[in-house]
Amino acid sequence: MKLIFFSLASGSSGNCYYLGTPEYGILIDAGISVRTIKKVLKDRSVDLSQIMGVLVTHDHADHIKTVGYLGEKLNIPVYSTEGVHKGIEKSRYVEETLNASKRIIEKEKPFKIKDFEITAFPVPHDSTDSVGYHIVCGDQRFTIATDVGHITDTVGKYICMANHLVLEANYDEEMLKYGTYPPFLKERVASPTGHLSNRDAAEFLATHYTPELKDIWLCHLSRDNNHPELAHKTVDIRLFEEGIRVGKDVQLVALKRSTPSDVYEFEAEI
């Protein structure tokens, strides 16, 4: 079976990712406009009727803006923990209350959407609740961990299980330190419940790499405190120090904030 992954948007202005087969797929987060979602999917020959569910990581606006519309207007099931759903209900950024489309899941209890076996896992972040997702399809394992204050043992376990990994690299430490953010915001970003820096992402990847890891996509890059080239270079250099060669041993891409990514395909044996 052919699997397809691409990012529709990845950053503090909005996040949305697609993982699917030629017949069906899922969205992970929906923090961008429905118009943009429809356009990007259409450009990639994916119809909204093929979307079997939306997995929500947490209740911050840049991840949930259009979950209400997708769920209640388009009848697409919206999956997340009870805590995340409570946060969605209270959010002023979601216009439609989730009712029939609401699906409550539990952390580290797998559930299925078609051929995808999905496990939510806890992620430290300053939201009502926050999870990453580990998705298995046949012999392929996909993990997304975004808005990660720090890599806990549990987050690390699911990162290390992945063949294909989407991992936050939100900020460069020097750019944040000398940037224009007020002190309280700098502290929030760098806190254990804030975001993951380029350096911390690079260090974990370099010290936990296995040959089973084929693809790394760096996600949720800050507009003010990072650049795609800088995030890529930071991880590339640190991997090289451990003898891991980007482009040969593993593929590495820094996803852009508001521009859809290329389409990435890989084969899964069911």
pLDDT tens for the chain, residues 1 to 270: 999 999 999 998 899 999 999 999 999 999 999 999 999 999 999 999 999 999 999 999 999 999 999 999 999 999 999 999 999 999 999 989 999 999 999 999 999 999 999 999 999 999 999 999 999 999 999 999 999 999 999 999 999 999 999 999 999 999 999 999 999 999 999 999 999 999 999 999 999 999 999 999 999 999 999 999 999 999 999 999 999 999 999 999 999 999 999 999 999 998
Q: What is the pLDDT of residue 164?
A: 98
Residue 199 has a pLDDT of 98
How is residue 151 written in tokens?
């890599």
What pLDDT does 252 receive? 98
Whole-number Å distance between alpha carbons of 106 and 153: 18
Q: Distance of alpha carbon 80 from its chain centroid, rounded?
A: 14
User: Is 0.85 topped by the overall pTM?
Assistant: yes
The predicted structure's pLDDT at residue 74: 96
pLDDT of residue 12: 86
User: What is the pLDDT at residue 270?
Assistant: 81
Strands (E), the chain: 2-11, 14-20, 25-28, 51-55, 78-81, 102-105, 111-113, 116-122, 131-137, 140-145, 164-168, 215-219, 251-254, 264-267
Backbone angles phi, psi at 231, to 5 degrees: -60, -45
